[in-house]
Amino acid sequence: MTSTDTHCPYCALQCGMRLRPRPTGPGAPSPSAPPVDVEERPGFPVNQGALCGKGRTAPALLARAVRLTAPLVRDPGDGVLREASWAEALDRVATGFRQAAERHGRSAAGVFGGGGLTNEKAYLLGKFARVVLRTPNIDYNGRFCMSSAAAAHRAAFGIDRGLPFPLEDIATTGCVILAGANPAETMPPALRYFTRMREAGGRLIVIDPRRTRTAEQADLHLRPVPGTDLALALGLLHLVIADGHLDEEFIAARTTGFEGARAAAMAHWPERVERITGVSVSQLREAVRLFAGAATGMVLTARGSEQHSKGTDTVRAWINLCLATGKAGRPGSGYGCLTGQGNGQGGREHGQKSDQLPGYRSLTDPADRAHVAGVWGVDPDTLPGPGPSAYELLDGAGTPDGIRALLVMGSNPVVSAPRAAHITERLRALDFLAVSDVVLSETAELADVVLPAAQWAEETGTTTNLEGRVILRQAAVPPPPGIRTDLTVLKELAARLGTTRGFPDDPGEVFDELRRASAGGAADYAGIDYARIRAEDGVFWPCPDPAHPGTPRLFLDRFATPDGRARFAGAGHRPQAEEPDRAYPLHLTTGRVTAQYQSGAQTRRIAELNAAAPGPFVELHPHLAERLGVGEGDVLAVTSRRGRALAPARITAAIRPDTVFMPFHWAGPGRANTLTNPALDPQSRMPEFKVCAVRVEKAAEAEAGA
């Protein structure tokens, strides 16, 4: 049977793969077997055929036995979800939103999207919120992932693209600082670029409180106290200045604001930074020697540096280091962010973020509003303004001034949101909750209506990977009977709510409209179409017209600011929002494991991945374990000011003695985000996932003391 070239549904690499349908008819696979097999696609440049375990097993979720196959509704007073027809389910959703608007006003409606949605879905979801519901209340789970790096990118460079260069450039650079990133486990096929870089003589510096698989391959591993990356970056810049490593010609010609950055850095001398971060002065000096001494270099951050209440300032401090040494806007050099979710990049470009219209246009700019309103055929004055960020939207759910009806599409905030027990209660307090998803996630279990969605291999649409490469996921098999695409859901809901035009369910038609809406914007897709993506294995934006070659490398001539210069920042270090104390003496940091993905709603349903990572755990140092009287596998209670989580101990010297680590993929008693702190970055509105204060006890002792 004919195979189909497409892409993995998981992380932002968007690795190329080929799907071959299995036979149908008599002797066809059982409902528990996937309808396609994965084959290598060595021609796609990002992964060149390599796939991690999640990619190889992705078809398992296409099997009917592990997914939703019919709409579900909850009858009033019953409390039980039952199967229903599509007509009944969609009527219930439309009625829920109509009643919320009639009783409480249009702003009582809310939409919560996901960084895994295709560009077409993200675009139409934003249009649905602003044209049909006429509500400002839309945001998405990418706010929990990329928002601090995005805010820093825009402030420093004038545009936000995760990597301003292709992944292949990593292999040619002289030195990489990886801050809060663990690609060996989170995106394994990307590790080849770092390996090739080191084989060519480049050096790798990893900054992480844990000795991860990535850190094991580093030439230098710095292990700061969680929450102190800003001080660390400032200390490195101090040494760059003090030791004469500035690229003064580059600073003068291509930047502005250096004096403010200099003042902030000089207040963070090496001994002070050692006291704050726990990283020795000798290691600080070695890091500067390696980075400043290389002819080219990059700083790449991920959630470890970004998910903080000062994440934007931290990223800007890393950008300062690149600018001060002339390692930006030049071949083989620059700052970049390793995006997490599959379409975390495109998902925020085209309208499901609370303050942005398609093409990175601004909701507060009259010209931007007029352009998008013209494409949509509406009066610009009818478009609502910016709404609250993701956590603030969820935190206000069911309250007098908050949303009363919510549509969640492709997200599972019951597991993924900070202070998750509180967010669960807020979702329960809604008058009406609808969820569109592939599986019955923990969030869907709370819903009044659950809509079964088609998956990546069953529908066509574009995503934008971490390089800014727009790629095409192509349908390989039709969805099973009873399942519809999210585009069809939005079309049907729009019609029921009085908008019968402007919501096509053909993805090519939606993408053509997206191109027009993005034209002239910062993220300009006007010159990209499906045929060109197929022919070129993806096209880098901005690409303003069909004759344009696309832009693999940004900033080589000028930055995207009005004067073409990059902006330094001058923020100093400040403590995390919650410091350890006598009651909560330890740092908790959270993250991922190789075999699971995000909230685990999909990967926890795949047997091979569960065998590799069956459940949550608490990683702690042997010295801490000895002090607590804890043995390997003992069930521990980890308690913060927001709640308690239970998981078995995993004792390892790979973590700092003052820190414990929990992965965040699981619901139930081991839910790590029960503990995490929703303190928000004032610029990006990113919650402080990566550090909070906790105490750790044996579970039995914790219960006895409760």
Q: For residue 291, give both structure tokens.
A: 């980075």
Give 703 or 416, the one with higher predicted confidence.
Answer: 416
Angle at which helix 270-277 crosses helix 281-293, to 10 degrees, equals: 110
Q: How far is 385 from 136, CA to CA, in rounded Å?
A: 6
**E strand or H helix at 620, and its extent?**
strand 618-620
Query: How many Å separate Cα 31 from the centre of its chain?
Result: 32
Query: HSE (CB half, 13 Å, CA atoms) of 654?
Result: 14
Q: How far is 209 from 339, CA to CA, in rounded Å?
A: 20
Mean pLDDT of the chain: 96
The arithmetic mean of pLDDT across residues 28-54, rounded, is 90
Position 162 pLDDT exceeds 80: yes
Q: How far is 649 from 617, CA to CA, in rounded Å?
A: 6
The arithmetic mean of pLDDT across residues 21-33, rounded, is 74
Of 224, 133, 628, 594, which Cα lies nearest the Cα of 406?
A: 133
The arithmetic mean of pLDDT across residues 510-517, rounded, is 98
Q: How far is 88 from 79, CA to CA, in rounded Å?
A: 17
What is the Cα gyration radius of the chain?
24
Query: How many Å separate Cα 474 from the centre of its chain?
Result: 23
Bridge partner residues of 81 (DSSP): 74
Taking CA 642 as the corner, what is the angle to CA 639 and CA 648, rounded to the nearest 5 degrees? 30
Lowest mean pLDDT among 126-130, 215-219, 323-327, 341-345: 341-345
Q: Is 655:675 a contact under the CB 8 Å cutoff?
A: no
Q: In this predicted model, what pLDDT tens digit does every residue of 623-664 receive, in sequence order?
A: 999 999 999 999 999 999 999 999 999 999 999 999 999 999
Q: For residue 430, give both structure tokens.
A: 């809604």
Position 25 pLDDT exceeds 70: no
In sequence order, the 6+-apart residues with CB closer than 8 A to the CB of 448 are 73, 74, 92, 96, 432, 433, 434
Stated length of the chain:
706
Q: Is 361:520 a contact under the CB 8 Å cutoff?
A: no
Q: For residue 331, give both structure tokens.
A: 């071949």
3-state secondary structure 386-432: CCCCHHHHHHCCCCCCCCCEEEEECCCHHHHCCCHHHHHHHHHCCCE
3-state secondary structure of 675: coil
Q: Provide φ and ψ at 172, rounded to 5°.
A: -105, -5
Position 29 pLDDT exceeds 80: no
Q: Is 433:108 a contact under the CB 8 Å cutoff?
A: no
Could you give the percent of the chain with pLDDT greater than 90? 95
The arithmetic mean of pLDDT across residues 109-129, rounded, is 97
Task: Report the pLDDT value the prediction gives residue 24, as an integer from 0 to 100.
Answer: 72
In sequence order, the 6+-apart residues with CB closer than 8 A to the CB of 642 are 419, 421, 422, 674, 675, 676, 677, 692
pLDDT confidence band for 340 (50 / 70 / 90): confident
Lowest mean pLDDT among 339-343, 570-574, 682-686: 339-343
Give pTM, 2 decimals. 0.96
The arithmetic mean of pLDDT across residues 524-542, rounded, is 98
The arithmetic mean of pLDDT across residues 119-145, rounded, is 97
Task: Report the pLDDT value the prediction gives residue 27, as an integer from 0 to 100.
Answer: 60
Q: What share of the chain is helix, strand, coil (3-state, %, to 5)?
A: 40, 20, 45
The arithmetic mean of pLDDT across residues 169-191, rounded, is 97
In sequence order, the 6+-apart residues with CB closer than 8 A to the CB of 485 are 453, 454, 458, 459, 479, 505
Which DSSP symbol is given to 131? I
Q: How far is 364 from 356, CA to CA, in rounded Å?
A: 9
Bridge partner residues of 361 (DSSP): 357
Q: How far is 507 from 67, CA to CA, in rounded Å?
A: 23
Q: Provide φ and ψ at 139, rounded to 5°.
A: -155, -175
Longest dimension (CA), the chain: 75
Q: Is 678:424 a contact under the CB 8 Å cutoff?
A: no
Q: Is 97:432 a contact under the CB 8 Å cutoff?
A: yes
Of 415, 426, 482, 391, which Cα lies nearest the Cα of 144?
A: 391
pLDDT confidence band for 26 (50 / 70 / 90): low
**Cα dist from 85 to 333, 444, 499, whole Å:** 55, 17, 22
pLDDT confidence band for 1 (50 / 70 / 90): low
CB-CB neighbours of 594 under 10 Å: 18
Alpha carbon distance, N-terminus to C-terminus of the chain: 61
Of 615, 606, 675, which Cα lies nearest the Cα of 650?
A: 615
Q: Is 301:337 a contact under the CB 8 Å cutoff?
A: yes
Q: In this predicted model, what pLDDT tens digit does every residue of 243-276 receive, in sequence order?
A: 999 999 999 999 999 999 999 999 999 999 999 9
pLDDT confidence band for 478 (50 / 70 / 90): very high
In sequence order, the 6+-apart residues with CB closer than 8 A to the CB of 68 are 437, 438, 439, 440, 444, 450, 452, 453, 483
